[in-house]
Amino acid sequence: MKFDSVPSGVYPELVYPEYKSTVKRGPLQPLLRLDAALPVSDNIATPSGLVLPGEIDLTRPDGCAGEAIGERIVVTGRVTDEDGKPVRNSLIEVWQCNAAGRYRHKKDQHNAPLDPNFNGWGKMLTDGEGRYRFVTVRPGPYPWGNHHKAFRPAHIHFSLFGNVYAQRLVTQMYFPNDPLFDYDPIFNSVPDAAARQRLVSRFSIEETMHEHLLGYEFDIVLRGRDATPMGL
Amino acid sequence: MTTNSSNESSNESSNESSKITTSQTIGPFSHEAWQWSVDATADVETTAPTVTVRGVIYDGDGTPINDAQLEAWTPHAAQAEAQQAIPGFRRIPSGEAGEFQFRLSRPADAPADAPAAFVTIFARGLVKHQFTAVFLDDAPPSPLLAQVPEERRGTLLARRQPDGSYRWDIRMQGDGETVFFDYT
């Protein structure tokens, strides 16, 4: 696999003072481009046993008595490389707050209720076409103290392994037409407007299930190009 | 340019697949989710000899980062670690004092340019995860390390301690900033 330089503006600004925590944590030196065979050629093996079928439904977590509270949604999409080739059998992890805007995490002090039937964690493998699908509830916005009136737009965290190490990505999926976009420094740390827009899922009436849940599509493109020489 | 963005995205559907998805911060609330998903913090099952690499991750003020997530990948160790959740892979959160510790397999047949581990760093305030690597200071010269400017190579060296473990600190910014990679 081959890795082109990422065009300027596509990745977020590592030091973006509006997002305060970046100021002392974002590296200042440019990245070192280097040749290293293993990160672009060797697969990180994710055994199929890592994922159980129930782990794609966050609304009925294992060990909980009932069903999660909130607006039920399904999120689906394709994971591909830069040439549109599917990223197959790759581990995707998602985590999010509940419908009231609170994470099940010991450090989340937001004064909103925890849902006893919602953990906010899911995992799945992409299929032969690079497709994934999971059911959850729409996460709520929540305050985070970065600035006056700071509320995060509703979002779901995604961790993607890709098929090789250098494709690794952690990102966030947002929801269409969120009024908080213009005020969120994490979303706006990405300089390029089109690249920001690619983080926003699309409402899908096709994926919507009658009297059950609303559908959203979110396609993900990981770095790397097919390295097969032409003519083979 | 900003006002055109919605038109651009709808008119260029044939090119959309070539546009990579940008990264966002992992935030401070990944720990329980990642521990549930891939608990790679437990003791390591491996048939190869191991080394322990420990250190502290610091921000630009020298303050320890207590909410980082570190991943270490040792691809040539996959066979020796067939019993691991993900063979050759570690995932650990930094502790309250920014401390971390990896126990890494060192198979004898590792390639000459292989570091002790390829390392990925995630944290609140880090909007893009960073790729780096750690090398043992008493290992044979690595062609991979040779690509790093000489004056910065020390930031990737884990130094052997009297007890046989290795010490490697990560500095995200400023003096002694760790070298971070982009791959070709």
Q: Is B122 helix (H, G, I), strand (E, B) or coil?
A: strand
CA distance A102 to A111: 8
Number of cross-chain residue pairs from A and B with Cβ atoms under 8 Å apart: 237
Q: What is the pLDDT of residue A62?
A: 83
Interface contact A32-B73, CB threshold 8 A:
no
pLDDT tens profile A165-199: 999 999 999 999 999 999 999 999 999 999 999 99
A155 catalytic, yes or no?
yes
Q: How far apart, in whole angstroms, are the C-alpha atoms of residue A18 and residue B144?
A: 36
Query: Is there a catalytic annotation at residue A152?
Result: yes
Residue in chain A closest to B30 (alpha carbons) equals A95
CA distance readout (Å), A137 to A91, A151, B54, B83: 21, 19, 39, 34
pLDDT digits (tens, 9 = 90+) for B90-106: 999 999 999 999 999 99
B34·A168 Cβ contact <8 A: no
- Which own/partner contact pairs does B95-98 have at CB distance under 8 Å and 24+ positions apart? B95/B66, B96/B66, B97/B56, B97/B64, B97/B66, B98/B56, B98/B57, B98/B58, B98/B63, B98/B64, B98/B65, B98/B66, B98/B68
A-chain CB neighbours of B9 within 8 Å are 194, 197-198
Residues from chain B contacting residue A39 (CB–CB below 8 Å): 118, 131, 183
Domains and CATH numbers, chain B: 47-171 (2.60.130.10)
Q: At B10, which amino acid appears?
A: S
Q: What residue ranges do the domains of chain A occupy?
A: 3-27+49-221
Q: Which residues of A touch B122 (CB under 8 A)?
A: 170
Q: Tell me whether residues B24 and A171 touch, CB distance under 8 A.
A: yes
Mean per-residue pLDDT for A85-96?
96
Q: Read off the pLDDT of residues B159-183 as tens digits, 9 standing for 90 and up.
A: 999 999 999 999 999 999 999 999 9
Nearest CB to A25: which of B2, B30, B126?
B126
Res B123: pLDDT:
98
Residue B18: band (very low, low, confident or very high) from pLDDT cuts 50, 70, 90: low
A106-154 confidence digits (pLDDT tens): 888 899 999 999 999 999 999 999 999 999 999 999 999 999 999 999 9
Please give the C-alpha separations between residue A104 and each of A95, A97, A109, B95, in angstroms, as whole numbers: 10, 7, 10, 19
CATH class of A3-27+49-221: mainly beta
User: Which residues from B are below 8 Å from A103, CB to CB?
Assistant: 29
Residue with tokens 């401070």: B28
Judging contacts by C-beta atoms under 8 Å, the chain B residues touching residue A104 are 32
Whole-number Å distance between alpha carbons of A80 and A10: 17
One-letter amino acid of B29:
F
Q: Is A19 a catalytic residue?
A: no
How large is the C-alpha radius of gyration of chain B? 19
Q: Across the strands, what pairs with B117?
A: B134
In this structure, the number of other CB atoms found within 10 A of the CB of residue A178 comes to 17
Whether the CB-CB separation of B33 and B93 falls below 8 Å is answered with no
Computed over every residue of chain A, the mean pLDDT equals 94
- Token pair, residue B62, equals 């020298």
Q: How confident is the model at residue B16 (pLDDT cuts 50, 70, 90)?
A: very low
Asked if A24 and B30 come within 8 Å (Cβ–Cβ), the reply is no
| Interface residue of B3, B18, B24, B45 to substitute, partner A, most A CBs within 10 Å | B24
Sign of CA dihedral A118, A121, A125, A127: positive
